Amino acid sequence: MVKFLTIFSVLSASMMISAAASAVEPTPPAATATIDPMQQMICRKDKETGSLVKTKKTCHTRAQWAYIADFNQSFSRDLVDNAQTKPAGN
């Protein structure tokens, strides 16, 4: 009789634990969380100068590509403006 009660109590305890574990809602995985589009990685292939087939792969986030584009645009604008304002000659 004691063995029966011990087995019964163990079974009922394990059933209660599994019921409690199944009642807890699972947490959503981190992969389904929304990602900021400016943090998305973008890779580009650029042809290397002097080669017909060799390419170079460059990866940056969208925010970094936007910064690079703004920097290049302002640099080229300053280059053109400085060339036009300098006098020719001595």
CA dihedral 68, 74, 79, 84 (to 10 degrees): 160
Return the structure tokens found at 31. Answer: 């992969």
User: Residue 24 has what pLDDT?
Assistant: 52
Stated pTM of the model: 0.52
Domain boundaries, the chain: 61-90
Q: Nearest 5 degrees, angle CA 71-CA 67-CA 62?
A: 150
The listed range with the strongest mean pLDDT (8-22, 45-59, 74-88) is 45-59
